Structure 1
Amino acid sequence: MSAAASTPQEYKRLTQYEVDVICAKHDRLWSARMGGARAVFAFCDLSGLSVPGRNLCDADFTGAILVGCDLRKAKLDNANFYGADLQGADLTDASLRRADLRGSSLRGANLTGADMFEADLREGTIAAADRKEGYRVIEPTQREAFAAGANLSGANLERSRLSGIVATKADFSDAILKDAKLVRANLKQANFNGANLAGADLSGANLAGADLRNAVLVGAKTLSWNVNDTNMDGALTDKPSGTSVSDLPYEQMIADHARWIETGGGEGKPSVFDKADLRNLRSVRGFNLTALSAKGAVFYGLDMEGVQMQGAQLDGADLRACNLRRADLRGARLKGAKLTGADLRDAQLGPLLIAADRLLPVDLTGAILTNADLARADLRQARMAGADVSRANFTGAQLRDLDLTGAIRLAARGLDDVI
């Protein structure tokens, strides 16, 4: 190894004032004002400093030390964190879309609710510019991205690249990892409870002792993965959950039920879909399924836009990632239902008038609505005691007399006026 290759990298320690000046110049660059300059923090030490909410898109943090930094809600899209040390940093709700985090350390970092769409967290080699050699290698071995103990709960990691990452005991609960690359990743004892791993590549990944309860693994590649002592209770895979569509004439049953409702019982007949796997139906868009019984049924990913399900019995049903926009669910029972990531914009979830003096409210007691979109939905008098509405969007929703007793409301939007 050459002497140049073994020379330790020197880091420039920055003050909070210096960082603020650099951020201000970056802001001017983005707003096309005079005196603007791209923020470059390469091989700088920013430990313990704060840039919450700052626009640092495209900034250069190559090899920087950001231990314990406050980066909450910072805009870091396309930023370069190649080989950076982010141990213990607070990146809650930060935007890191397409950020380069190869070879970085996220040990103990808080990335709750962060948007890391298409972020690159693969391994990488740390190198630095050298006049004679062009680039000299500071660390001659490949560095895995290191995220042991990191909190990525509720983070958006869709289509991110995490192959080879070391994320032992990391928290990915309720995270979105659709189509993510996790080839040969070390995920021992990691928490993926409720995470969406649809289409993810987990080939050769080590998930020994991990928590995959209620995770979505539809279309996931699992060749040679290690799931020894892994808890997969309630995990949704490509295998039918309950009675498969292929075993019963579900399409005809759905049509018969809709016809029975539309004709007031004159034609068709009522149907029961309790514990049925209805995923292969693809769509029930606009169907009239009033009073349908589908307790514990799996609707995952179905197009249900505009469906009429007033008074439906949907306790414990899996409605994750369903399109329920403008659906009529007045008076429906959805106790313990899974609605993570569901589109409920403009949906009717208010009370159902069943007699001149009797209203039947929607029952969402204990339901899981993390990352659900309820913008402009009618939720008047809805019972949501004990529900998990973390990171859900209630913007513009009607919330009069909404019962959220004991509900988990972490980072939920639009609930400021609800006690």
Structure 2
Amino acid sequence: MTMQSGELLERYAAGERDFRGAQLRGAFLSKVDVSGADFRGSDLSGAYLTEASLNGVDLRESNLSDTNFLGASLIGANLRESNLKGANFTQAIMIRVNLRETKLSGASLSKANLTEANLIDTNLSGASLSGANLTDASLRASNLSGANLSGANLSYALLNDADLREADLSRAKLNRVCLSRAKLMNCFLKDADLQGANLTNAILTEAHLQGANFSNAVLNGVNASRANASDTDFSWANLSGANLTGIILNRANLRAASITWTTLRGADLSSAKLTRAKLSWSNLTGAILAKAVLIDVNLDETNLRNAELNGAIMPDGFVY
């Protein structure tokens, strides 16, 4: 059903809401209000919907590639299974929007409000979400590889089984976020806040974690081999059964952390603070613990073969 912008607005003003299958490619609809309309299966690719009111609209299975939604309001809108490649949602209000199984690769959602949004199994590879609000959003099994999430707020979001390889999460807020089984290889989490986060069985190999806050986080079974976690806060965190082979933890805060049954072969823990940490049954073969603080650390059955302990303060207060 091909129509012009003027015809659409006239029919909407007359009370019509069913515009399924509409052909509005490249239409100029800036600042219009078509809230509650049904555009399912429509083609609005390349259309201009800047600052438009689209609250509660049905845009399922539509072609919205390269569409401009700058500053638009899409509260409660349904865009499930739509093509949104290259779309612009910068500063858009998208509270409780349904974006499940959509294609958003290369799209811009910078500073968008996506609180409680449904982004399950969505393709966001290479998308820009810098400064976006994703509080309580569900991104389970989504593809965020190479995405820019710097400075975004993902507190309480669900990211279990998500693909975040090489994604930029620097300075992001990830309080109480669920990242269990997530793929975070070579991602950037510099200065990110992950207090109380759940990263059970997540993969963080070669990740950049400098200055991040993982206090009280759950990292059981995590694989963070060869990651850089210098100056990172793991106080009171649980890292039991983790693979931390070759990790850099110099100057890290591991106070009262549980690091039992963990592999730390060749890890760099120089000048790390491990007061009251539990390292029982862990393997620290060849680890560097020079000038580390090990006061009241539990070293029961810990393997310290060939470890470097020069200047370390041992559990009994003796300087090695």
Q: TM-score, normalised by structure 1?
A: 0.46
Give per-residue Cα distances to partners, 1:220-277, cap 9 Å, x unaligned.
00000000000011111233447xxxxxxxxxxxxxxxxxxxxxxxxxxxxxxxxxxx
Alpha carbons 2:135, 2:157 under 8 Å: kept: no
1:19-418 matches, cutoff 5 A: 20=110, 24-26=113-115, 38-123=136-221, 145-241=222-318
Change (3 A) 1:50 1:73: same
State the shift of 1:217 in Å.
Answer: 0.4
What SS does the aligned partner of 2:223 have? Answer: coil
Shift of 1:104: 0.1
Q: 1:85 to 1:27 in 2, by over 3 A?
A: same
Q: Distance in 2 between matches of 1:198 and 1:240?
A: 11
Say which SS state the counterpart of residue 97 (structure 1) adopts.
coil
Evaluate the alpha carbon distance shift between residue 194 and residue 12 of structure 1 in structure 2; reply closer, same or farther with a 3 A threshold: farther
Distance 2:185 2:314 in 1: 34
How far has the Cα of 1:25 moved from its partner?
1.6
**Cα displacement (A) at 1:36:** 8.8
How has the CA–CA distance of structure 1 residues 37 and 148 changed in structure 2, closer, same or farther, with 3 Å as cutoff? Answer: closer
Describe the shift of the 1:80–1:227 C-alpha distance in structure 2 as closer, same or farther (beyond 3 A).
same
Partner secondary structure for residue 107 of structure 2? helix
Alpha-carbon distance in 1 for matches of 2:317, 2:204: 37
Is the contact made by 2:250 and 2:272 (CA closer than 8 Å) also made in structure 1? yes
**Structure 1 pair 16/96, CA: closer, same or farther in 2 (3 Å)?**
farther
Q: Specify whether residues 235 and 64 from structure 1 end up closer, same or farther in structure 2 by C-alpha distance, changes over 3 A only.
A: same
Q: Provide closer, same or farther for how the CA distance between residues 20 and 207 of structure 1 changes in structure 2, counting only shifts above 3 A.
A: same
How many angstroms does 1:37 deviate by? 7.2
Cross-structure match for 1:408: none
Distance 1:221 1:36, change over 3 A: closer
Distance in structure 1 (CA, Å) of the matches to 2:113 and 2:317: 55
Letter matched to residue 180 of structure 2? Y
Distance 1:24 1:12 in 2: 17
CA distance in structure 1 between the aligned counterparts of 2:293 and 2:211, rounded to whole angstroms: 18
- The secondary structure found in structure 2 opposite 1:41 is coil
- Structure 1 Cα separation of the partners of residues 108 and 139 of structure 2: 11
> 1:94 and 1:227, CA in 2 relative to 1: closer, same or farther beyond 3 A?
same
CA distance in 2, matches of 1:69, 1:203: 34
Change (3 A) 1:176 1:95: same
What is the distance in 1 between the residues matched to 2:212 and 2:281? 26
What is the rounded CA distance, in whole Å, between the counterparts of 2:169 and 2:288 in structure 1? 28
1:187 to 1:14, Cα distance in 2 relative to 1, 3 A:
farther
Change over 3 Å in CA distance of 1:36–1:236 after alignment to 2: closer
> Could you state the TM-score of these two structures normalised by the residue count of structure 2?
0.60
C-alpha distance in 1 between matches for 2:250 and 2:186: 19
Which whole-Å deviations, capped at 9, do the CAs of 1:157-216 have from their partners, x for residues lacking one? 000000000010000100000000000000000000000000000000000000000001
Is the 2:134–2:152 Cα contact (8 Å) retained in structure 1? no
**How far apart, CA to CA, are the structure 1 residues paired with 2:307 and 2:153?**
40
Structure 1: stretches of 5+ with no match in the other structure: 1-10, 29-34, 124-144, 243-419
Q: How many residues get paired? A: 204
Q: For residues 79 and 37 of structure 1, what CA distance do their matches in structure 2 show?
A: 9
**Separation in structure 2 between the aligned mates of residue 194 and residue 224 of structure 1, nearest angstrom:** 23
Find the residue that maps to 1:17 and give its secondary structure: coil
* Alpha-carbon distance, 1:12 to partner: 7.3
> Structure 1 or 2: larger helix share?
1
1:240–1:91 CA distance, 2 compared to 1 (3 A)? closer
Q: Equivalents in 2 of 1:113, 1:36: separation in Å?
A: 22
Match of 2:105 in 1: 15
SS of residue in 1 equivalent to 2:113: helix
Change in 2 beyond 3 A, CA 1:41/1:14: farther
Deviation at 1:26, TM superposition (A): 2.1
Name the CA distance, whole Å, in 2 between partners of 1:14 and 1:101.
Answer: 25
What root-mean-square deviation, in Å, do the aligned CA atoms of Structure 1 and Structure 2 show? 2.2
Pair 228,86 (structure 1): closer, same or farther in 2 beyond 3 Å: same
> CA offsets per residue over residues 74-114 of structure 1, 9 Å max, x none?
00010000100000000000000000000000000000000
Q: Which amino acid aligns with 1:26?
A: T
Q: Distance in 2 between matches of 1:203 and 1:17?
A: 47
- Matched AA of 1:115: N
